[in-house]
Chain A
Amino acid sequence: MSLQLFDTPGPKARRQLACWNTGFGIAFAAFAGFIIWSLNEAGQFNPAYWTPFLDPGIIKALVRGLVATLRAAIYAIMLGLVIGAILAVGRLSGRIWIRVPATIIIEFFRSLPPLLLVLFLFLAFTFAFGRFGSFLMGFLPGTLVAILGIDQMDRLGPLVFALALYQGAILAEIFRGGLLALPRGQAEAGYSIGLTKGAVLRFILAPQAIRIMLPTTVSELIILLKLTALGYIISYQELLRTGRLITASYNNIIPTATVMLVIYVLLNMAIARFARWMQERQEHHYGATSLSQMNVAHAA
């Protein structure tokens, strides 16, 4: 913590703090007690609602849902990285007929709600994606089809492409920030030894920028993982949809939602910890960068 908001408390302040602590403690305990009481009143602690999560069949379904969520997130981040890199380079291009369209595309996809994009691609291309899926299923082995999720292509496709376009536009801005954050002497040195613009980008700027941006990109993965839950609305069988199916047969919405919450929070906290670890390692190697403080507007 850089800012010391409070002095070390003296005897009087310590007594005051103890009072506040007790007050807040009682308030939170009352709040928690009220929630537990009303859950109990509604019969939500009935074991019949909770035991399904020990059932091997349900656990298997949940794992399958989790795999579907991760699959969509991984596809979307890979596609989003490619789209983001192309758009970032396009926006930095010296040619106006590349720069202006790239800027328009970035700003367009950045300011749309991801759900609008998902719905649009679903309504427009679900049949095309479905046909492409069954075309691939024609000659791929069954296990590969199941692992890659090709059998659900009609819903996976729109979801992945919508999220990749949205996230790609946001990643493009992160990449551009990374490229611009490098000292100008780097590019100038490249030009002075006679490298072309493309070569400077490829051999000098990109390798350094990628290193700076890596932690930010990993934390973007958290946002993407949360966004895959939008697949719920077009009934892609991801984690949340699987949970909804469980509630349909056991009528246990609150226990199921609790389990979902725990899974998502643990998963995302693990990714966040990984990103922080990368950040710290990098600051250790290269010194702190201002990039970690970059603010990128995004919805999730």
Chain B
Amino acid sequence: MEVLVEYSDEILHGFGVTLLLFVWSAAGSLVFGTALAAMRVSPVPIARGFAAIYVHITRNAPSILLFVIVVFGFPVLKIQLSFFTYAVIALTIYKASFVCEALRSGIQAIQPGQTEAARSLGMTTGQVLRYIVLPQGFRSSIQPVNNTLIALLKSTAIAAGFGVTEATYQLDELVRDRPDVLYIIFFGIAAGYIILTLAISGIAQLIGNRLEVVR
């Protein structure tokens, strides 16, 4: 235990970076993912096609490959950014398609009778979306989006392999000096991830209880 106290500065710093990575890429992928979902359910064929291709490619690629593309590919194109920014970009590119699919599943879960009823009342497409489809769609995607965000938290660990000094990186770094403390540090860092996972689920639960549609 005293080992964890001794290295608490490094570990806490690591989790600070993990949390920052998580917050930035969660914000990025929620915004980008919502835009993709809007394109995927829109009546515009070209937008649908683009979103579908994007989702198929990024969902089937390993996240670490996207890190390789961003971290080593961007400098070739003369785009020089910090490792942290690269990691946020890679995670956003990757997770946006999962957010898109989560939102789309929420929209698909709406009963067809809902939109039919709205149309028979004479609502326009915009009104149907604004008053009927999107409010229900967002609410029933809270759980899938929560799952996506927890997966995102776990994916932030990959940044450790690409120069970001987050929590998983600290395991490698600290053990380099003190191989004997491997187990205790592993369990300390594992506990940190579990706490973060529980916190994210708890927040989603709170939002869900407030907003979830009762069927």
Interface positions of A (Cβ within 8 A of B): 1-7, 9, 17, 20-21, 24-25, 28, 38-39, 42, 44, 107-108, 111-116, 119-120, 123-124, 222, 225-230, 232-233, 240, 243-244, 247, 253-254, 257, 260-261, 264-265, 268-269, 272, 295-300
B117 beta carbon closer than 8 Å to chain A: no
Chain A residues, Cβ within 8 Å of B76: 42, 44, 253-254
**B107 at the A interface (CB under 8 A):** yes
Contacts A229-B62, A253-B72: A265 and B151 contacting too (C-beta < 8 A)? Answer: no
Please give, as numbers and ranges, the residues of chain B lying within 8 Å of A112 by CB-CB distance: 154, 190, 193-194
**Given A232-B64, A253-B72, A296-B147, are A261 and B57 also a contact pair (CB < 8 Å)?**
yes
Instruction: Please report the C-alpha to C-alpha distance between residue A227 and residue B151 in the assembled complex, in whole angstroms.
Output: 13
Q: How far is the CB of A240 from chain B (nearest CB, A)?
A: 6
| 0/1 string, B51-66, CB within 8 A of A gives 1 | 0000011001111110
Candidates A108, A119, A244, A296; contact of B194 at CB < 8 Å: A108
- Check if B89 is an interface residue, CB within 8 A of chain A: no
Interface positions of B (Cβ within 8 A of A): 41, 43-47, 50, 56-57, 60-65, 68-69, 72-73, 76-78, 107-108, 110, 112, 115-116, 119, 125, 128-129, 133, 143-144, 146-147, 150-158, 160-161, 167-168, 171-172, 175, 179, 182-183, 186, 189-190, 193-194, 197-198
Chain A residues near B60 (CB-CB < 8 A): 222, 226, 264-265, 268-269, 272
Cross-chain pairs A/B with CB under 8 angstroms, 9 sampled: A4-B112, A5-B41, A5-B125, A24-B47, A123-B172, A265-B57, A269-B60, A295-B144, A297-B150
Known: A17-B44, A299-B153. 19 other contacts (CB 8 A): A3-B107, A5-B115, A5-B129, A5-B133, A7-B119, A17-B43, A21-B44, A25-B46, A111-B150, A112-B154, A115-B158, A227-B62, A240-B64, A257-B73, A265-B61, A295-B144, A298-B147, A299-B151, A300-B151
* A171 vs B186: C-alpha distance when bound (angstroms): 23
Q: Considering the chains assembled together, what is the distance between the CA atoms of A38 and B76 in angstroms?
A: 10
Interface class of chain B by DSSP: helix
The answer on a CB contact under 8 Å between A42 and B151 is no
In the complex the two chains form, what is the Cα distance from A2 to B64 in whole Å?
35
User: Could you say which of A42, A123, A228, A247 contacts B182, with CB atoms under 8 Å apart?
Assistant: A123
Q: For A230, list chain B residues within 8 Å (CB).
A: 64, 158
Query: Which residues of the partner chain A approach B155 to less than 8 Å between Cβ atoms?
Result: 113, 299-300
Determine the distance from Cα of A158 to Cα of B144 in the docked complex, in whole angstroms. 31
When chains A and B are docked, how far (Å) is the Cα of A58 from the Cα of B87?
29
Q: A17-B43, A116-B157 are in contact. Are A39 and B61 (CB under 8 A)?
A: no
CB < 8 Å: which of B65, B151, B156 contacts A264? B65
* Nearest chain A residue, comparing its CB with the CB of B59: A268
Contact check, A3 vs B110: say whether CB atoms are below 8 A apart. yes
Contacts of B171 in A (CB 8 A): 116, 119-120, 123
Verify A261–B65 contact, CB threshold 8 A.
yes
**Nearest Cβ on chain A to B159's Cβ, whole angstroms:** 9
Q: Which of B108, B128, B146, B168 contacts A113 (CB 8 A)?
A: B168
Contact of B116 among A4, A123, A240 (CB under 8 A): A4
Q: Flag if B44 contacts A24 (CB, 8 Å).
A: yes
> Within 8 Å CB of B78, what residues of A?
42
Give the complex CA separation of A170 and B136 in angstroms.
29
When A229-B62, A295-B147, A299-B151 are in contact, do A115 and B57 touch as well, CB less than 8 Å? Answer: no
CB-defined contacts of A115 to chain B, threshold 8 Å? 157-158, 160-161, 168
Residues of chain A contacted by B62 (CB below 8 angstroms): 225-229, 240, 264, 300
Q: Which chain B residues border A296 with CB–CB below 8 Å?
A: 147
Q: Which residues of B contact A233 (CB under 8 A)?
A: 64, 158, 160-161
Q: Which residues does chain B contribute within 8 Å of A265, judged by CB atoms?
A: 56-57, 60-61
The answer to whether B108 and A3 touch across the interface, beta carbons within 8 angstroms, is yes
